[in-house]
Amino acid sequence: MVDLSQYLPILLFIAVAAILSVAFVFLPMGVSFLTGAHAPNAEKLSEYECGFPAFEEPRSQFDVRFYLVAILFIIFDLEAAFLFPWAVSLGATEWTGWISMMIFLFILAVGFAYEWKMGALDWE
């Protein structure tokens, strides 16, 4: 016969996690329903971050510059993600690592200057 008593802490952990996750999902929904926070008004239905109305014809035209700025943010966020491991391992990579990172930063700077010159960052 197999002793399953060793799995009791794991089952207890899974049960507590399931109860907490259900509480974190459904408790705020119930509170907002009971307090009347679900009533929409003009401020709640207005554009928030996307720059265009959220509830209109799905095939309508929208401004592409919002997505260009988002892509620029992702590019420079990834640059920061590459700079940290490079800075940590600079002692091991020495001049080769330093030169390759300067080439990488130069390419990013040229791309940024090009986008700036072409007006991709101008918001009208």
Q: What is the Cα–Cα distance from 102 to 110, expressed in whole angstroms?
A: 12
- The reported pTM is 0.46
User: How do residues 59-92 score in pLDDT, each as one tens digit?
Assistant: 767 667 777 778 888 888 888 888 888 889 988 9
Q: What is the Cα–Cα distance from 104 to 97, expressed in whole angstroms?
A: 11
Q: What share of the chain is helix, strand, coil (3-state, %, to 5)?
A: 70, 0, 30
Count Cβ atoms within 10 A of the Cβ of residue 69 and give its class: 0-12 exposed, 13-18 middle, 19 or more buried.
Answer: middle
Q: Which of 63, 52, 79 is nearest to 122 (CA)?
A: 63
**Per-residue pLDDT for 106 more than 70?**
yes
What pLDDT score does 36 carry?
73
What pLDDT score does 49 carry?
59
